[in-house]
């Protein structure tokens, strides 16, 4: 099936034109500045193996069926109805609960009983901690030392043991893999796991039921588990719905890998800590190669503008990564075609970020419109 591209090309944070959006293909010849991580096939992934319906059954009574809210501002801006999917109102204030709980619930009980191990910048950590507590098993979460302190504190309140790691999420993942091997316990990967992806895909099932005539979904992307899950669910039920990924211009590993057709290691510097991943997951990228229609990047200021707009106009408290879809429509309104959903993926905002959002909102009220 031919899947249409977005109508407006993305730009980089310095205003320069970004690479032309397209489906991934063979990389051009010659050495690149980006460091290849590993080859990933662009086809041959059996999406029937991503059992979103089974995940939905597992999550019954655990994950909330989060509401959708019409965004008056984004609807006016784009000229089409735009709805916000409020995963920021989920238990643990993030979509990550869906995948983490599904993975732990479907694990071998003997392995699960030896303990659960994970790595995260904070939202996946809370999902894993919550799920482990529900099953009465210990959880150890490896978190970058510079992670959001609000997310760390909430993870500990769910009963998990938090190990701070020097470096970024990639360093935390290495530490978690080593600990799971030594423990013989269950490693719950934040995105590169088919069961985790299926859990995240339950959002797609809900969107189909909640938004009549849904045509476009915008999803923030880090390692890719969320967009892979939603795109899989939509392809299985509504293949006509367009799926567009959104990344920070300062952390574009997934979008660059998607365009080149294989995984790349790319530096990540962004206020959106939930998407500050230097290389995408192998399985999410392979799924996205077939299922994702387009990807765009947005500058750092767009995240702030989106958080302010969502707070003022829609009464939504979201963290930077959670505002990615709205930020994309502020910069690329042409991405919205027909009834559109933006996934507000998380609301675990730290005090400093929340304070700046309030200050920017107050400043905008004092400043007359041009």
Centre a 10 Å sphere on the Cβ of residue 320 and count the other Cβ atoms it contains.
26
From the list 71, 85, 94, 96, the catalytic residue is 96
Q: CB–CB of 220/343 below 8 Å?
A: yes
DSSP code of 19? P
CB 244 within 8 A of CB 294: yes
The two beta strands, 216-220 and 242-248, are: parallel
How far apart (Å, rounded) are the C-alpha atoms in residues 328 and 146?
A: 27
Q: How many CA atoms lie within 13 A of 50 on its CB side?
A: 33
75 flagged as catalytic:
no
List strands edge to edge, sheet with 186-187.
Answer: 161-165, 139-144, 116-119, 186-187
Active site residue 22: no
- How far is residue 223's CA from residue 104's CA, in Å, rounded to a whole number? 19
The runs of H, that is alpha helices, within the chain are 52-59, 72-78, 96-105, 109-113, 123-135, 149-157, 169-183, 194-210, 225-237, 253-260, 282-291, 300-314, 324-331, 351-366
Q: Which residues contact 165 (CB under 8 A, 6 or more apart)?
A: 119, 142, 143, 144, 145, 171, 172, 175
User: Whose structure tokens read 């019409």?
Assistant: 70
Other C-beta atoms within 10 Å of 72: how many?
12
CA distance 187 to 190: 9
Q: Which two tokens stand for residue 116?
A: 């659960």
Distance CA 263, CA 257 (A): 5
**DSSP letter for each residue of 25-37:** -PPPSS--SSEEE
Instruction: List the catalytic residue out of 71, 94, 279, 345.
Output: 345
Catalytic site residues?
96, 345
């Amino acid at each position: 099936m031919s899947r249409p591209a977005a109508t407006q090309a993305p730009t980089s944070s310095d205003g320069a034109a970004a690479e032309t959006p397209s489906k991934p293909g063979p990389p051009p010849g010659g050495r690149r500045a980006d460091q290849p991580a590993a080859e990933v096939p662009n086809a041959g992934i059996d999406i029937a193996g991503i059992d979103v319906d089974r995940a939905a059954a597992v999550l019954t009574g655990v994950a909330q069926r989060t509401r959708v809210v019409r965004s008056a501002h984004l609807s006016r801006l784009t000229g089409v109805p735009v709805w916000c999917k409020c995963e920021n109102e989920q238990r643990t204030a993030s979509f990550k609960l869906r995948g983490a709980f599904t993975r732990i619930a479907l694990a071998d009980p003997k392995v699960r009983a030896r303990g659960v191990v994970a790595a995260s910048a904070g939202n996946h950590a809370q999902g894993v901690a919550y799920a482990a507590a529900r099953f009465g098993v210990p959880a150890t979460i490896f978190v970058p030392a510079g992670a959001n302190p609000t997310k760390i504190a909430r993870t500990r309140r769910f009963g998990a043991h938090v190990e701070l790691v020097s470096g970024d999420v990639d360093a935390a993942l290495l530490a978690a893999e080593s600990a799971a091997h030594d423990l013989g316990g269950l490693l719950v990967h934040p995105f590169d796991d088919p069961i985790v992806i299926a859990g995240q895909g339950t959002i797609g099932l809900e969107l189909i039921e909640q938004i009549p005539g849904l045509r476009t979904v915008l999803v923030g992307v880090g390692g890719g588990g969320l967009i892979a899950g939603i795109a899989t669910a939509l392809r299985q039920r509504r293949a006509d719905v367009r799926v567009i990924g959104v990344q920070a211009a300062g952390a574009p590993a997934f979008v660059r890998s998607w365009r080149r057709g294989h995984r790349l290691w790319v530096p990540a510097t962004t206020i959106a800590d939930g998407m500050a991943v230097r290389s995408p997951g192998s399985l999410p990228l392979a799924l996205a190669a077939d299922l994702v229609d387009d990807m765009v990047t947005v500058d750092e200021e767009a995240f702030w503008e989106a958080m302010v707009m969502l707070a003022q106009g829609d009464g939504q408290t979201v963290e930077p990564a959670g505002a990615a879809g709205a930020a994309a429509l502020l910069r690329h309104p042409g991405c919205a075609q027909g009834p559109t959903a933006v996934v507000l993926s998380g609301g675990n905002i730290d005090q400093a970020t929340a304070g700046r959002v309030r200050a920017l909102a107050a400043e905008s009220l004092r400043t007359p419109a041009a």
